[in-house]
Amino acid sequence: MNTGKQTYTYTVLRYVHDVATGEFINVGVVLHSPGRKFFQAEFRHTYSRLSAMFPDLDSDAFKRSMKSIDRQLRAISSTYQDASDPMRGDAATIAKTVLPADDSALQWSPVGTGITKDPSEELIYLFERLVRRYDSKTFQRRKDEDVWRTIRTKLDEGIAHRLVEKTIRSEIDELSFKHAWKNGAWHCYEPLSFDLADSDGIKSKAHKWVGHLSAIQAAPEQFKTYFIVGAPSDPCLRRAFDDAIAILGKSPVDVEIYKEHQADELVSLMEQEISSHSEAE
């Protein structure tokens, strides 16, 4: 595999509330790096800033449109991973196969270009710089529930309803997971937002979770924990975030860790495994 830098193109999805005034808010980014066969999108999952700026926004219609675009682009990304050759066209060209250029409120920006060693990290950087940075005046740190919302909005409704709350108990402690399902062992999904104020807080949260898992490692029921981790909004804390992931990886029980931008990968795994289990029942 080529580990050097590769070219990429990207396009920004804009919500244009009033064509006459040209006012818009960036709501997502799509990135395509053919050298890595990488095509993914990142979208807003909270819309408080849009509602604050445009009180007459039809929130339900907007959310339906965004969810549809997200699912269609995710399907393209999934197909692309299995394809033998890179897709032709830049990010905007491919994105417009899902949302063509017309007079609707959702519009793609002109294409941008760059080079990167890691398209996944570049997508996060572009999303933070082009979409979330403009939320600074009304910024609130993201909570664990916000990280889970990234997963929940992508999950098929029937699959989401299979998830239940589960408490794992050992002789010395117990730990509850809000999202779990059983297939021999319990599969427990835990969203963790590391969007905290400082590096000490970030690493302390990771150590705390390792401690929780240590206390239930001798539980009679088999279980596996899947962490979905959200990065800090402050780029200066990215190293602490990497340290936190490494700390979680030292857990004494079986864990898998997914960064928030890997939500599509985790959702696909969940839907495949839960569907297969349901058919076998």
Shared domain check, 156 and 111? no
Shared domain check, 189 and 98? no
Shared domain check, 105 and 50? yes
* Within a domain: 59: yes
Specify burial of residue 192 (Cβ count, 10 A radius: 0-12, 13-18, 19+): buried
Picking from 89, 115, 104, 126, the residue whose alpha carbon sits closest to that of residue 12 is: 126
Nearest-angstrom CA–CA distance, 213 and 209: 6
pTM of the predicted model as reported, rounded to 2 decimal places: 0.55
Alpha helices in the chain (DSSP H): 48-53, 59-82, 91-95, 119-130, 144-152, 157-160, 199-216, 238-249, 263-280
Shared domain check, 127 and 24? yes
User: Which residue segment(s) compose the domain that 150 sits in?
Assistant: 145-280
* Within a domain: 231: yes
Shared domain check, 181 and 252? yes
Shared domain check, 68 and 106? yes
Specify burial of residue 17 (Cβ count, 10 A radius: 0-12, 13-18, 19+): middle
- Blockwise average pLDDT, block size 10, the chain, 281 residues: 81 88 88 94 83 84 92 93 85 96 91 94 89 62 92 91 96 96 96 91 95 97 98 85 96 96 94 78 49
At residue 3, the pLDDT reads 60
Shared domain check, 156 and 133? no
Please, are residues 165 and 176 in contact by the beta-carbon 8 Å criterion? yes
Nearest-angstrom CA–CA distance, 2 and 36: 8
Q: The domain spanning residue 252 has which CATH number? A: 3.40.1350
Shared domain check, 149 and 48? no
The total number of structural domains in the chain stands at 2
* Within a domain: 218: yes
* Within a domain: 10: yes
Please, are residues 215 and 252 in contact by the beta-carbon 8 Å criterion? no
Nearest-angstrom CA–CA distance, 166 and 163: 9
Nearest-angstrom CA–CA distance, 143 and 140: 9
Shared domain check, 149 and 126? no
- Token pair listed for 198: 């400082």
* Within a domain: 169: yes
Among the candidates 95, 120, 137, a domain finishes at 137
- Token pair listed for 257: 């860790």
- Cβ density class 258-276: b for 16+ within 10 Å, e for less: bbbbebbebbeebbeebee
Shared domain check, 131 and 25? yes
* Within a domain: 180: yes
Shared domain check, 232 and 178? yes
Picking from 147, 140, 135, 141, the residue whose alpha carbon sits closest to that of residue 52 is: 135
* Within a domain: 262: yes
Shared domain check, 258 and 218? yes
* Within a domain: 1: no
Among the candidates 105, 120, 137, a domain finishes at 137
Among the candidates 137, 161, 196, a domain finishes at 137
Nearest-angstrom CA–CA distance, 89 and 87: 7
